[in-house]
Amino acid sequence: MSDPLLPWRSQFPILEKCTYLVSHSLGAMPRGAAEKMQDYLESWATRGVRAWAEGWWDMPLTTGDRVGRLIGAPPGSVAMHQNVSICQALILSCFDLSSRRNKIVYEALNFPSVMYVYEAHRALGVRVEMVPSPDEISVPLDRFLSAIDEETLLVPLSHVIFRSGAIQDVAAVTRRAHEVGALVVADLYQSAGTVPVDVGAWDVDFATGGSVKWLCGGPGAAYLYVAPRLQNRLRPRLTGWMAHERPFAFEPGPVAYADGIARFLNGTPAVPALYAAEAGYEVVGSVGVEAIRHKSMRQVQLLLDRAQENGLVPRTAARAQDRGGMVILDVPHGEAVTRELLRREILVDFRPGAGIRLSPHFYTSDDEVEQAAREIRQILDSGAYRAHEQAGGTGF
């Protein structure tokens, strides 16, 4: 079958060397990233301190606008930060946690780093309510909605759950949250770049995510969206001189917040990471998320079919429209099997309590998808996993 996206493979050097099915963890590096890094080095080497005024200083917001185009956010509503944990802590720092409205509601399958941020704020009054997942794949929507009440401050949910790839109904959660005066933080890390997202249409209050995975942008380029209607009403306590109206006046004393999204910055930005990430945004923007989703749904189904033919048990949402870009296979000896796959240059990962995670992306061929299912079966049947059973965790 002809695959119109396969020509993009040549833009990703690692695909010549291995079977890359791990974009839910780290997207492959586009060739363009090396050029962008060269641009960064060139500006540092030749422009020196002048590079700040010639673009570096503005990059957290100019790069933010680029990300905004991929997530349905208008210009002036996205600021770049180092990671999602910082973005979540920054959002929380906008609120009075000792008031009655201090409940945080999220799914039990939320990304643990996000949980750690909210849990750590119990010391300041936060109450956390986790909505349980009976099947460890998704959270029943009606239970999620009924947990959100008049005492709920924030609902920081993942659009796609990292442990199962299940899609959550962010728009429905947002409607419920707004009915009772709560605010929603959508974590788009496992969706943006593979599942269409539209923060404007959903009407979420905040969104976060990073560029490491489906956006193929590398580490250090996370984003924070704040709905324009909220921006000037909030005063983040996690702040710094870039959030000041007059940063170069170096005024002592409290921060005088800048207008708009700039008030959600803090200190000096990670400029090299922002350069590197641009290449990923360009490629994903050119391929188009609709086209990526179309191919992803086809290859996810192909992988599920081949898995089933090979007697491998998926832990994935039943309906195609409820699945993101990854497939989880609950394989016996899953961690050891993963080690053997890695030895065979088939890059996937393993998560305890979930299984082997595999992800086709727009640069994946059908042969690679079929090969992965076949090799897992062969590793199990031949006992090749046994050599790895005593080894430590697969980590990343």
Site residues (vs ligand PLP, CB under 6 A): 83-85, 111, 113-114, 158, 162, 187, 189-190, 210, 222
- Residue 260, Cβ neighbours under 10 Å: how many? 15
DSSP track, 199-224: HHHHT-SEEEE-SSSTT---TT-EEE
User: At closest approach, how far in Å is the CB of 307 from ligand PLP?
Assistant: 22
Q: Which residues contact 90 (CB under 8 A, 6 or more apart)?
A: 81, 224, 236, 238, 264, 266
User: At closest approach, how far in Å is the CB of 35 from ligand PLP?
Assistant: 25
DSSP symbol at 196: -
User: At closest approach, how far in Å is the CB of 13 from ligand PLP?
Assistant: 23
CB 269 within 8 A of CB 337: no
Pick the closer one to ligand PLP by CB: 160 or 289: 160
**How far is residue 342's CA from residue 335's CA, in Å, rounded to a whole number?**
11
Q: Phi, psi at residue 313, to the nearest 5°?
A: -95, 120
Pick the closer one to ligand PLP by CB: 71 or 373: 71
Taken as a whole, the chain contains a residue count of: 396
Q: Which residues contact 258 (CB under 8 A, 6 or more apart)?
A: 243, 244, 245
User: At closest approach, how far in Å is the CB of 189 from ligand PLP?
Assistant: 4
Pick the closer one to ligand PLP by CB: 189 or 385: 189
Pick the closer one to ligand PLP by CB: 255 or 274: 274
Pick the closer one to ligand PLP by CB: 8 or 189: 189
Q: Give me the residues paired with residue 208 across strands.
A: 187, 224
Give the torsion sign (CA, 328, 333, 335, 336). negative
User: At closest approach, how far in Å is the CB of 114 from ligand PLP?
Assistant: 6
**How far is residue 194's CA from residue 386's CA, in Å, rounded to a whole number?**
35
User: At closest approach, how far in Å is the CB of 103 from ligand PLP?
Assistant: 21
Pick the closer one to ligand PLP by CB: 12 or 189: 189
